Copies of this chain bind each other. A is one copy, B any other.
Amino acid sequence: MNIDVDLSSLREYLTETGLDGYLIDDDASDSDQRYVSGFTAPDPYQTLVTRDGVHLLVSGLEYSRAKSEANADTVTRRADYEYQQLVAEHGQYEGEIRTLSAFLSDHDNQSIAVPRTFPTGTADGLRERGHEVTVEPDGIVTSIRSTKTEWEVEQIRTSQRANEAAMARAEELIATADIEGGVLVSDGEPLTSERVTEEIEITLLRRGCGLDETIVACGADGADPHDRGSGPLRADELIVIDIFPRDKETGYFADMTRTFARGDPGEEARRRYEVTRGAYEAALETVEAGVTGAAVHDAACDVIEDAGYETLRSDPNAETGFIHSTGHGVGLDIHEQPSVSPAGGDLEPGHVISIEPGIYDPAVGGVRIEDLVVVTEDGYENLTDYRIGLEPTTDGRQ
């Protein structure tokens, strides 16, 4: 990774608490570890941040790559602590703990802080071997990486450009479909969620992005914000498309949602679209450094409640209306700090957040509009360059 990781607030925490180091024990799926170590591996490895360095413990298989790629002061392989012999003698679990304990002792780390997600098996094992293990409850590393450097914003922008190309391809398929018996038809076959999803994924793949899931959800499917959608897309119904690709090389995500309808989705659906758009605009107008995520969320809720729909603010058990938060941070994780929800704290310059209000009801379908923005001192810069409109066109990217 090409970023200068600023771990000073983590080191301040170590100094304040008198702990020797901060240990992460996870694999590539842990973005904190990827960020701190500048390294990813399919299998677990350990990253130790001390007051003066970053130290990695890896398998022999990862050793040369870690030495050349990681942002680490030292890289040690497990075999240096007689890992195989310890496993043979004490079993897998105890052998791993003893190896890690030797690595910690090698770096004079008797007392360590760990993230909330640190494996309890490792924590309890190290405690049994005399180490003091304290959970760092605030997610300092997650917080550090919520503020993006210019380089990171550039990576997210690259993912977002790929995202827009994929959305344009999906919108084009919907815009140019024929309508036969109430169903969208393309190349003589029903245009299904699955077909649109495949085209989205291929478009992303050709731009170096992957994704685990895409949402192309029509009608009642779209009223469940996490339903991926399936089957033929129908005319006169709302179609929610939410794409959140990740650049395979850099690991940075983008996130965008648009809602379309062919034919006439009806007056109520059109009204919900306009209310959602109003909530989206109100939320965006609120975004600037120093404003809380909660205030941005409130701005969206105000518009939606004023229009007569429920929100989780008006009813925590609501199953229709605006039933999620307004947004979330996006970076190496698709959902990360800061939160744009009732719990959201101060926004800071360099925070990259989604703004994505929506209104849902199985009887009407779902509407969601989502852009990705970077918070600035006096507002935001929109990283999304994509038209907002219910009627699909073949020129969504303007």
Contacts and interface: CB of A to CB of B under 8 A. Distances in A.
Interface of A: 29, 41-43, 60-65, 77, 79, 84, 87-88, 92-93, 114-125, 133, 135, 137-138, 198, 201-202, 205-206, 210-213, 224-227, 248, 312, 316-319, 323-324, 334-335, 342-343
Given A343-B87, A343-B88, A319 B122 contact: no
Contact of A43 (B29, B224, B335): B335
A363 to B, nearest CB: 14
A316 B84 contact: yes
Nearest to A214: B248
Contacts of A125: 135
A148 to B, nearest CB: 21
Given A84-B316, A335-B43, A342-B88, A227 B65 contact: yes
A179 to B, nearest CB: 26
A201 B198 CA distance: 12
Contact of A137 (B61, B93, B205): B93
A29 B29 CA distance: 8
Contact of A335 (B42, B114, B119, B224): B42
A248 B230 CA distance: 14
Q: How many monomers of this chain does the complex have? A: 2
Given A137-B93, A202-B205, A324 B120 contact: no
Contact of A317 (B60, B87, B202, B224): B60
A281 to B, nearest CB: 24
B133 A120 contact: yes
Nearest to A29: B29
A77 B319 CA distance: 12
Nearest to A66: B226
8 contacts: A60-B323, A114-B120, A117-B119, A119-B119, A120-B122, A121-B137, A123-B123, A201-B210
Residue among A115, A125, A316 with the most chain B CB within 10 A?
A: A316
Contacts of A65: 224, 226-227
B135 A124 contact: yes
Contacts of A137: 93, 121
Contacts of A84: 312, 316, 342
- Residue among A64, A77, A120 having the largest count of chain B Cβ atoms under 10 Å: A120
Contacts of A117: 119-121
Nearest to A324: B61
A116 B63 CA distance: 25
Contacts of A42: 213, 226, 334-335
A227 B62 CA distance: 9
